[in-house]
Amino acid sequence: MINGKKVVVIMPAYNAEKTLKQTYDEIYKDFVDEVILVDDHSQDNTKIISRELDIKTIVHKENKGYGANQKSCYKAALKSGADIVVMLHPDYQYTPKLIPAIVCMMAFEQYDAVLASRMLGNSALKGGMPLYKFIANHFLTWFENLFTGEKLSEYHTGFRGFTREVLENLPLVDCDDDFIFDNEIIALMFYYKYHIGELSCPTKYFKEASSINFVRSCKYGLGVLRLSILYRLAKMGLKSKIFKPDAKKLDLSSDIEYYYKN
């Protein structure tokens, strides 16, 4: 525990057998109370390796999507008593060595959430980020800042941490089950006036690291533009989708609807 807070690292996984152990080995266990991996019906040995590493492992019976995987991760972490939850992709694209820094920014109640930004410090291109993704990242972030009125350096990082309060109070159930979930949760935090901190994070692009293809990247980009507009309309009083009073929160009283955990 850090400052009396239980810290849980969650890893949403899909076909991560080649990088899972390397990622897990670099987690500073002194800062983390528990690690939970949710395998979104991988077609490789991800769940087997996870069990061999003695990671608490949950496996979806069918592939539900990246957003749905995160929902399962957060629900499992909250049910385990987490006060702070850090999402770390098991593909080794982000360094686990920054977990202590992310945790401390929340454990001492300075921020409600923390994003590890690849755009601070010019590490993205140095780490091998494709140029078209770099340009798209900057444009989408500019567009989102314009419509939200905020000043984040990046909305699209997969390395982030949240306090329990954030995960309990945001209507995550009604969020998308695909990649746009990452942006929806940030938009919701701004909508409900939570405070988000950032820190610079190096990144590594290589063959084994997961990445969505060009077509899905375009779909994601269009989804980001649409979400930004919906956010601005919601702030003007036109409620829709997740920006409505009856949007559903995670139900911790229900059973976790997947099988196997060690």
DSSP string, 180-204: THHHHHHHHHHHTT--EEEEE--B-
Q: Is the dihedral of CA 117, 221, 212, 247 positive or negative?
A: positive
Q: Residue length, the chain?
A: 262
What are the extents of the domains in the chain?
7-235
Q: Where are the alpha helices (DSSP H) in 123-254?
A: 123-126, 131-148, 164-169, 181-191, 214-235
What's the pTM? 0.93
Summarised one tens digit per residue, pLDDT across range 85-112 is 999 999 999 999 999 999 999 999 999 9
Can you tell me the distance from the alpha carbon of 31 to that of 8, in angstroms, rounded to the nearest whole number?
9
**Number of CB atoms found within 10 A of residue 252's CB:** 13
Summarised one tens digit per residue, pLDDT across range 149-195 is 999 999 999 999 999 999 999 999 999 999 999 999 999 999 999 99
Q: Which fold has domain 7-235?
A: Spore Coat Polysaccharide Biosynthesis Protein SpsA; Chain A (3.90.550)
